[in-house]
Amino acid sequence: MIKTENVTKYFNRGKPDEVLAVNDATIEIKKGDFAVFKGPSGSGKTTLLSLIGCMSRPTSGRVIVGDRDVSRLPERFMTEVRRNIFGFIFQQFHLIKGITVCDNVMLPLYPVGIKPSKLRESAALILNNLGMSKRIDFPVQRLSGGEQQRTAIARALINNPDVILADEPTAHLDTQISEEFLTIMRNLQQQGKTIVIATHDPLVYEKDYVNLIIEMRDGRVREIMKN
Amino acid sequence: MALEKHRNILDYTLQSLLKRKLKNIGIIMVFTLVIFTASSVIFLSYSLRQEARLLLKDSPEIIVQKMRAGRHELISTLIMTEIGQIPGVSGVEPRYWGYYYDSGVKANYTILGIGASGTEKNRVLSGRMPSRHEKNIAAIGRGIAEARVIKKDLGSVLYLQAADGKWMNFNITGVFESDSEIMTADLIVISEDDFKTLVGMPDDAATDLAVHVSNEAETPTIAKKIKERFPDSRPILRDEIIRTYDAVFGWRSGLIIALFMGALIAFIILAWDKATGLSAEEKQEIGILKAIGWETSDVLEMKFWEGLVISLASFMCGIILAYIHIFFTGASLLAPALKGWSVIYPEFRLTPFIDFYQIAILMSLTIVPYIASTIIPSWKASITDPDTVMRG
């Protein structure tokens, strides 16, 4: 499903503040996996997540999604892959403030050209499944942390992606809400979706349903553990 | 489907604009002020020019004045016959007019003596005009009535001091209505006889002569012939007067634009500020949109709508306010600078003439740069990897 071959990523290459974020990473994630990138801050797990999610390009090496090498795709096709295959849940949720929960959820599909009434219908269904039906028309900035995360999950699911990518999803949540989040992810995995989470939270990578742990340190893949 | 896409993006743009209400209202206000100022000047100067052109349309093709040592002097009416015999001349008539300085109110009036032809009749007169030989009768403009604090009612009396020092009284039989004030605010119309008595003009003299020609194309030739036969005369062509009006209003428009350069500079700074960078929040928003599946073209479309909505709204507000200001309130803010130097400022309503060419230029000089200044920095952010943009 997703492969990286000797992927390296530099930031600010050739400048005094050059950073080698990912160094020669080769991994493979199969369809239906519940994979975790594990490692301390600065180990390169977020960068690797964004590389496989087509949010940035590797300096060298290849990223393969399905059968396609996406690392050198033109920008337009990268966007297409991002929109059709991946759903993102960011560490800070990255919801657009000033608009409602429903509008945030519908946002990924605005450029697709679906009627607003249908978009709203789909968004309402997902929000309802996540227990957010009473918050549909709430401005997102008035939501609690857990509610904001569920909104972010709904936004990641609106385009019915095959792969959910989540970056430190439990970093700002208490244990109970973190558990709720993981239950949602587990259910999605059982529905056939591939889950990839970057985290240093043991609550996540110690779950028995996590079947692939990729441990990273200093930008390198240190260990790959399969259950 | 494609239409829905644009509708959705426009819908999001409007929500996005509402999110930054205060900032956008500020931009719209500055933008509106700039458009209001520029279009007010355009509307007013163009309308005044058009009014002047219309006014001059029925005026004689040539006006002949007598010059002495480069100074305008009274002209003898005895030369009218000789001018009338020049081939191509269809008629010659004397004109009686002059300025009267009223030291009491420190204002200049324009005094017109009604001649034989009676062409000075004005259809926007309430009451009636004096006839050629009618004594002590006057029709006046509203500005005069206000300056002299006399009733605008017919039957009131106006006193003017004549050349011999005696006071002449005139019963007001007509008052010009406000629609004609551009021409009549400071105007007093009296009979030819009274005019001559008032200014001490000999019977065989006139202020100047109006010469009508049969074929307008022959006007310069006829003017040349008049000049040859009467070397001390100065034939003034109607086209020259029109050109003078254009130049005067053009110069005054430039003056107003210069005065409002401050507002223009504020607008340029605003556009420059937008063109040189996005706020961290705006950059992050673009990064999020890209990350969740928006293409660069979608982001640019959103920014295009954003620029268009703000600039078009400001443009329309500015144009509408300027239209109301010029054509409904008599250009109350700009009038002192543009309309003239008289103490009696006409309070007139201009006929709405709009120069669409100038409006189109104004549009392209404001809307297009503003949209460009909105799109360019967004384009820079949207072609960068979403991950990099979101990291800041």
Q: Are residues B190 and B318 in the same domain?
A: no
Chain B hits for A99, CB-CB cut-off 8 Å, are 12, 15-16, 19
DSSP code per residue over A70-135: -TT--HHHHHHHHHHHEEEE-TT----TTSBHHHHHHGGGGGGT--HHHHHHHHHHHHHHTT-GGG
Say if the Cβ atoms of A83 and B383 lie within 8 Å.
Answer: no
Half-sphere exposure of A165 (CA within 13 A, CB side): 22
pLDDT at B268 over 90: no
Q: What is the pLDDT of residues B120-149, one digit of tens each?
A: 445 556 778 888 788 899 888 877 777 766
**Hey, is B103 helix, strand or coil?**
coil
Residues B253, B349, single domain; the answer is: yes
Whether residue B294 lies within 8 A of chain A, CB to CB, comes out as yes
Q: Are residues B380 and B253 in the same domain?
A: yes
Rounded to a whole number of angstroms, the distance from the CA of A120 to the nearest CA of chain B is 12
Q: Are residues B92 and B138 in the same domain?
A: yes
Asked if residue B341 has pLDDT above 80, the reply is: no
HEC states along B18-38? HHCHHHHHHHHHHHHHHHHHH
Confidence of residue B248 (pLDDT cuts 50, 70, 90): low
Angle at B228 between CA B220 and CA B78, to 5 degrees: 100
Least CB-CB distance to B288: which of A96, A113, A119? A96
Tell me what pLDDT residue B27 has.
86
Structure tokens at A88: 């993102």
Torsion angles phi and psi, residue B67, rounded to 5: -115, 140
Q: What is the CATH number of the domain that holds A111?
A: 3.40.50.300
Residue where a domain stops, chosen among B155, B173, B206: B206
List, in order, residues 6 or more apart from B358 with CB less than 8 Å away.
B42, B46
Question: What is the total count of domains within chain B?
Answer: 2
Report the C-alpha gap between A64 and B67 in whole angstroms.
95
Whose CA is closest to A111, among B299, B380, B386, B285?
B299
Chain A closest CA to B28's CA: distance in Å?
Answer: 20
Q: Is residue B164 part of a domain?
A: yes
SS3 B389: helix
How much is the pLDDT for B104?
78
3-state secondary structure of B272: helix
* Chain B residues in contact with A151 (beta carbon < 8 A): none
Check CB contact of B19 with chain A, cutoff 8 Å: yes
The answer to whether residues B201 and B156 belong to one domain is yes
**B4 closest CB neighbour out of A96, A115, A155:** A115
Does residue B343 have a pLDDT over 60? Answer: no
Same-domain check for residues B133 and B184: yes
> pLDDT tens digit string along B183-235?
667 788 899 999 999 999 998 999 999 999 999 889 999 999 999 999 999 99
Question: CA-CA distance, A106 to A117, in Å (whole number)?
Answer: 11
Structural domain contains residue B215: no
Cβ neighbours, 10 Å, residue A20: 17
CA–CA distance, B285 with B299 (Å, rounded to integer): 10
- Residue A194's domain comprises 2-226
pLDDT score at B141 = 81
| Residues B39 and B107 reside in one and the same domain | no
Please tell me whether residues B254 and B383 are part of one structural domain. yes
Question: Which residues of chain B are within 8 Å of residue A76 when distances are taken between CB atoms?
Answer: 295-296
Spatial contact of A123 and A193, defined as CB atoms under 8 Å apart: no
Task: Nearest by CB to A56, from B2, B12, B388: name it.
Answer: B388
Residues pairing with A35 in the sheet:
A196, A212
What's the CA dihedral at B308, B314, B316, B318 to 10 degrees? -150
Rg of chain B over all Cα atoms, to the nearest angstrom: 30
| Among A residues 72-101, those touching chain B with beta carbons less than 8 Å apart | 75-76, 79, 82-83, 88, 90, 94, 96-99
pLDDT of residue B119: 47
Lowest mean pLDDT among A35-39, B45-49, B324-328, B378-382: B45-49
Q: Residue B280: which pLDDT band, with cuts at 50, 70 and 90?
A: confident
Task: Check the CA dihedral A159-A160-A161-A164 and report its sign.
Answer: positive
User: Does B169 lie in the same domain as B111?
Assistant: yes
Q: Which of B3, B19, B291 comes nearest A88 by C-beta? A: B291
What residues of A are in contact with residue B288 (Cβ under 8 Å)? 90, 94, 96
Nearest-CA residue of chain B relative to A48?
B387
In order along its 227 residues, chain A shows pLDDT tens digits of 899 999 999 998 888 889 999 999 999 999 999 999 999 989 999 999 999 999 999 999 999 998 889 988 888 888 889 989 999 999 888 999 989 999 999 999 999 888 989 999 999 999 998 889 999 999 999 999 889 999 999 999 999 999 999 999 988 788 988 999 999 999 999 999 999 999 999 999 999 999 999 999 999 999 898 87
Q: Domain range spanning residue B374?
A: 2-54+247-391
Q: Are strands A163-167 and A2-11 parallel, antiparallel or unpaired?
A: unpaired
Question: Looking at per-residue confidence, does B61 or B59 come out higher?
Answer: B61
For residue B234, is it within any domain?
Answer: no
In percent, the amount of chain B with pLDDT more than 70 equals: 80
Q: What is the pLDDT of residue A203?
A: 93
Q: How far is A227 from chain B (nearest CA, A)?
A: 31
Q: Do the beta carbons of residue B163 and residue B200 sit within 8 Å?
A: yes
Number of domains in chain A: 1
Say what the pLDDT of residue B130 is: 84
Q: Quick check: B16 pLDDT over 80?
A: yes
Q: What is the pLDDT of residue B329?
A: 84
Both B158 and B294 in one domain: the answer is: no
Q: Which two tokens stand for residue A177?
A: 């809400």
Q: Is residue B134 part of a domain?
A: yes
Residue B296 and residue B374 share a domain: yes
| Residue A33 one-letter amino acid | D
Asked whether residue B288 is assigned to any structural domain, the reply reads: yes
Q: Which residues contact A172 (CB under 8 A, 6 or more apart)?
A: A91, A92, A145
Q: Same structural domain for residues B270 and B337? A: yes
> Do the domain assignments include residue B221?
no
Q: How confident is the model at residue A185, as a pLDDT? A: 93
Give pLDDT, residue A49.
95
Answer whether residue B237 is part of any domain: no
Q: Does A201 touch chain B (CB under 8 A)?
A: no
Q: What residues of chain B lie within 8 A of the CB of A90, using their CB?
A: 288, 291, 390
Contact A111 B7 (CB under 8 A): no
Q: Determine whether the interchain pair B15/A99 forms a contact, defined as Cβ–Cβ distance below 8 Å.
A: yes
- All residues at 6 or more sequence positions from A178 whose CB lies less than 8 Å from its CB, including other chains: A169, A170, A201, A203, A204
